[in-house]
Every structure is written in C-alpha cells, then in structure tokens.
Chains A and B, each alone.
Chain A
Amino acid sequence: MIRLSGVTVRVGRFMLQDISLTVPTGGYGLVIGPTGSGKTTLLEAIAGHNPLRAGRILLRDVDVSHAAPEARRVGFVYQHYHLFPHLTVAENIGYGIRERAAGRRQQRIGELAELLRLTPLLERGTRGLSGGEQQRIALARALAPGPSILLLDEPFAAVDPATRRGLRRELRDLHEREGITTLQVTHDFEDAMRLGDVVAVLAGGTIVQSGPPEQVFRYPNSAFVAEFIGTGTVLRGKLTRTSEPDPSSGRFAARFEAGALSLEVVAEREGDAYAVLRPTDLLLSRGEAAGPAPRNRFAATVTRVERESALAHVYLDVGGTALLAAAMTSTADELGLAPGRPIGVAIKATAVHLI
C-alpha cells in the first residue's frame, strides 16, 4: 500500500502541497497532470529523493517519511529510462541484485529478460536501443529486486503509439501477475482509463480531484479537470431555475444559457456555472432529432469530422458556440457527416454535467 497524507515538498521555487493519496495493496494508481504540475517531484518524494517539509509517507504500512531511498525498497522507472550507459543490458537489469549469488542473479536476469522479451539484447551495450527496448530494460531493472511497490514516471511518453499500446498491455499483465502496488504519473488520461484503479489529477502542486477513473472522467469537479482530461466541451454560462426543487434531492429543473445555446438541465444551484457536454452524450440525427421528451434538441452545423478506426469526432457549431460530438464511424457515414452540413443534435437534461 502507498499512503500519502499531507505531503509537502519544496524543490527550488516549486512546491507540492498537502498531497493525500492512497493506493491499496496490489492497486494501480495514476497521477495525471500537465507538464510542470509536480508529477515527477511527487514520485521522487515517495522514492526518498526529495525531503518532506510536512506530511507522512507510508509504504507497506511502514512510515518511511524520512528513510533513505535505498531503505524504501521501491522500483522506479523514469520517463527517459536512465539506463546506466557504462553497463550492458544484463548488468543494468542485475544492478540491484548484486549481493545475490551469481547463479541466482543470472536466473533472475534470465526470467525478467524472457518476460519482457529482452533475451537477445542481454550482452549488448545500451547504445542504439529503441525507446521501447530501453523502457522494457528499465522496467526489468526496477523489477529485479522484487519490489512490492513500483513507481513509473510517464513510462509511455517517449515511445511510438504502437509500442505504447504493447507496453501498456504488458504492464497491466505484469501488474496483475505480480500484484505489485503501482503508482504511475502520466499526462495521458487514456492511461488512467485503461490501467488505473485510482486516479488523482494534479495541478499547480496540489491534487484537485481524485477517485476511480470513470467517476473522475464522467464527473469532473472543475472546468480545468474537464478540459485537461478531455471529458467534453466545457461551456461557461448562467443557470436560471424553471421549477420548484424536488423535496427529497433539492434539485430542480433549470435553463443553462451559454451564447446561442440554451439547454434544459437538472441543477442544484443558480447563477454562473460551467456545463460539461460529453461527446458520446450528444446524439446526432438527420434533420430534427427524434427522441423522448426531456431531451434538448437543437440544430447545428458540422465544421469538421475526424475519423479514427471505429469512432468519429464531430466538431459542431451552434450559433457561434463550438461543440464536440462522437459517433460510430458507420453512423457518421450513414448521416453523411461533412463540413458545412446541417445536423440535428439532442442531449438529455440529466446528461449535462454542471460544475
């Protein structure tokens, strides 16, 4: 288990403040945040490289707040791998297990090399290796001493998309097999959605939201989080109540107005607010949108369509307000989506997430 409570670290002028986060034993936690938000500083603090100004760090239920890095027994993989350039691949992998008998050391290196498909590279130097190879060597090196905690600093940032997909799968398999408590930092929310049990969004040195990835994605608690993780279109507007509050929940029907767009929503308060429209909640149809009563319906113009293999991102314009919708590529084809085409849009009142 990794438990941080009120962790405060200062590096130069940068300050990480009051970080509290728990990754349960065997869990996979992700810290996501933009460049310069303090992600690497946080991992280095957990590994013991940055002294704490306040707070506590518990690893495996042991307080290691002021323990030396070598006493914390964590595996650490940096974004740029940092393989030892004066050693061979095998020597890199075996670096942390030198006190073991030669036979056992070789066996462990062999096991990890096979697991991470590195066997043909063992006797090589580290020059000229691809990003993916270097990443797998750095991972093998971190895993060799058998740590129960693994810290990963943007492990997929410097590899091509295909390698990234492969590495992500390997990491997930490895995590499930070895049951290592893992904390990864990333700026890619896709990593969080695919790997994480817990995700924390870091901005400006503090955690602004944390929880299960799906929950953070669907219900971002600020416009920053919604925009950073790409939940959907974030609109700034005004809420006006249109019904009496429901006695049990206190919620009421309201109208959210942002520019030319006026949406029927379910709200808890009035006044200035942000509305988040998730792309998959925007239903597209030819002409007037059909559907049950509480849906908002309005006409839009397609401004751009980006097709991926299965999904199409559809950029829309509603009287000067830009929206992003998503549709299956086949649906996009059936609807004949193309720039300049008019399209009907519908969204449920309850699907509009208000902040």
Chain B
Amino acid sequence: MGTEYTSPRMRPRLSPWAIGVWLLAALLVLFVAGPLVRLLLQSTPASLGAALHDRELGAAIGLTVLTASAACVLSLVLGVPLAYLLARASFPGRRVVEGLVELPVVVPHPVAGIALLLFLGRQSPVGAALAKLGLEVVNQVPGIIAGMLFVSAPIVVSAAREAFRNVDPKLERVARTLGDTGWAAFRRVTLPLAGRGVLAGAVLGWARSVSEFGSIVILTYNPKVASILIWDRFTLFGLPAAVPAAVVLLLLALGVFLLVQLVAPDRSAR
C-alpha cells in the first residue's frame, strides 16, 4: 500500500514538537532506571552470594514477605466487599467513604505511623481492648501488618472497585433471572470477570507493603522487616553494608513487578 510514492526505508521527519516529547520522556525513563541499574551494578556476585547467606537479612525478608502477605489477605477480605459496595451500591455518604479510603495515599507515612500508634497503642481504648484479647500491636508483628494494611488497602480497594465497575451490572441481573442468588451471581459472573483486576490490585498492594518503611519504623522497629534492616545497616555501617540487602529487596520488587505485568488486565484485547 502506498509503495508507488514512498520507499519502505523512508520515515516521516520528526517535528520539533515530537522531538521534544521524546526527549522529555527519555529523561524521565533515565532518571527512574538509572539509579536502579546503578544499584544492581554496585553489587558483585560475591557480595550478592554473601547477602543470600546473611541470616539476619534472610529473616527480615522472610518476615517482610509473611507480613505483606497477611496484609494482602486482610486487605482482600475487608477491601473486596467495600470495593463492591462502592462500585454498585448508592448510599448516603458514599463519596465520603470513597475519599476516606483513598486518604492514606496522601498521608505522609510517618504521619500514618503516628496515627496508628495513637489508635492502636496500649493507651488507646482500641489498643487496650486488643491487648486484653492478647493481641499486642505496637513493637510486635501485628504492628507491621497494621502499617502495611493502612498503606496498601487503598490500592487494593481502588483497583477492585474499578474492576467491579467494569463489569456491567446487567450481567448479574441476567444471572439472577437464570436462577442465581446474589452471591451465586457474584461468584459465577462478577468475580471471574473482575478477578484479574482485583488480583492485579492485590499484587500491587502486596508490593506496596513490602516497600513500606515510614509507618512501620514508628510502630514496630523490631523485629525488623527488610526496609528497616536496610535503613539500620545504612545508618550504623554505611553504604557498603546496606547495598547487598538493598539489591536483594530490589530483585524481589522486580519479581513482583513482572508478576503484575502478567496478571494485569489486558486492555488491548477488550
């Protein structure tokens, strides 16, 4: 097509506008990729090997994965019903609830940590009640999970809400007229169709939990999650001590990033 007036080698000339756009985009990509590549290059196979045999780092990463997974499960159990309500139901104050759920995204994380400390500490009614039930939050593993849940739940809820909004409610109505109860229609129609979006949100939320530092450092310094261990080593022993642990955490984050790419909704196919 069009071969009579253009050869395959010919490319349209870029306008100054297009050059500007490409240049600015490339600058930002470099700015993001540069430090990460630099960090990866900083580690040697030997230092990486040593890091993998570092028992304290291993324990911190294990704790991070475990607590991030617990926060992820909690955010799904509590967040999916909320997301479904926000997507489908109209009730007074819906927009307020919607705004409230997204608030943690704009709250600085140390502020979130202080707020959680005040809310869940032993001096607060909630913290005291939990302590009576044998659940200590501050300076314990539940404190880590609380910090992670606070920062990751908005991501899960908003991803799930969008996923549910993309499923036409009439599909559920059709399922109901075909004999499904509300729960059956949700399980057989809505969830399979929104599942990919919910899962992508869960993975992103999990990754956000893994990277959390600001609120956890206030709630539970010990036992240490990976981000706090890296901070600890940097302040105590300097950069060389922090780099191998940082590289391991970066590789973990990259793995999750690839996972998100795999499960994220394929919009082009819709």
Q: Cα distance A233–B188 when bound, in Å?
A: 52
| Majority-rule SS of B interface residues | helix
Question: Which B residues are CB-close (under 8 A) to A84?
Answer: 171, 174-175, 189
**CB 8 Å contact bits of B169-187 with A (1 = contact, 0 = none):** 0110111111111000000
Question: Which B residues are CB-close (under 8 A) to A53?
Answer: none
The answer on a CB contact under 8 Å between B193 and A70 is no
The answer on a CB contact under 8 Å between A69 and B176 is yes
State whether the Cβ of B54 lies closer than 8 Å to any Cβ in chain A.
Answer: no
The answer on a CB contact under 8 Å between B175 and A49 is no
State whether the Cβ of B56 lies closer than 8 Å to any Cβ in chain A.
Answer: no
CB A32 to nearest CB in B, in angstroms, measures 21
State whether the Cβ of A74 lies closer than 8 Å to any Cβ in chain B.
Answer: yes
Question: What is the total number of residues of chain A having a CB less than 8 Å from a CB of chain B?
Answer: 24
The answer on a CB contact under 8 Å between A82 and B181 is no
The answer on a CB contact under 8 Å between B189 and A70 is no
The answer on a CB contact under 8 Å between B177 and A74 is yes
State whether the Cβ of B34 lies closer than 8 Å to any Cβ in chain A.
Answer: no
State whether the Cβ of A47 lies closer than 8 Å to any Cβ in chain B.
Answer: yes
Size category of the binding interface on chain B: 10 to 19
**CB 8 Å contact bits of B153-172 with A (1 = contact, 0 = none):** 00000000000000010110
Q: List the 8 shortest-distance A-B pairs measured between CB atoms, nearest first.
A: A96-B178, A69-B176, A76-B177, A82-B170, A86-B192, A70-B179, A49-B173, A82-B174
Contacts A76-B174, A82-B170, A86-B193 supplied; 18 other A-B pairs, CB < 8 Å: A44-B173, A47-B177, A48-B176, A48-B177, A49-B173, A49-B176, A69-B176, A70-B176, A74-B177, A76-B173, A82-B174, A84-B189, A85-B193, A86-B189, A86-B192, A96-B177, A96-B179, A142-B177
Known A82-B168, A84-B171; contact A75-B177, beta-carbon cutoff 8 A:
yes
What residues of chain A have their CB less than 8 Å away from a CB belonging to chain B? Answer: 44, 47-49, 68-70, 72-76, 78, 80, 82, 84-86, 95-96, 141-142, 144-145
Contact of A95 among B168, B170, B178 (CB under 8 A): B178
Closest chain A residue to B178 by CB distance? A96
Q: Cα distance A96–B177 when bound, in Å?
A: 8
Q: Cα distance A84–B167 when bound, in Å?
A: 10
The answer on a CB contact under 8 Å between B179 and A78 is no
The answer on a CB contact under 8 Å between B177 and A69 is yes
CB A83 to nearest CB in B, in angstroms, measures 9
Question: Which B residues are CB-close (under 8 A) to A144?
Answer: 178
Q: Cα distance A200–B144 when bound, in Å?
A: 64
The answer on a CB contact under 8 Å between B171 and A70 is no
CB B135 to nearest CB in A, in angstroms, measures 40
Question: Which A residues are CB-close (under 8 A) to B193?
Answer: 85-86
Contact of A145 among B168, B173, B174, B178 (CB under 8 A): B178
The answer on a CB contact under 8 Å between A70 and B170 is no
Question: Which B residues are CB-close (under 8 A) to A70?
Answer: 176-181
Instruction: Give the one of A72, A73, A95, A141 with max B CB within 10 A.
Output: A95
Instruction: Give the one of B175, B177, B180 with max A CB within 10 A.
Output: B177
**CB 8 Å contact bits of B123-156 with A (1 = contact, 0 = none):** 0000000000000000000000000000000000
CB B108 to nearest CB in A, in angstroms, measures 39
Question: Which B residues are CB-close (under 8 A) to A96?
Answer: 177-179
Contact of A72 among B174, B177, B189 (CB under 8 A): B177
Q: Cα distance A68–B178 when bound, in Å?
A: 12
Known A70-B180, A84-B189; contact A78-B175, beta-carbon cutoff 8 A:
no
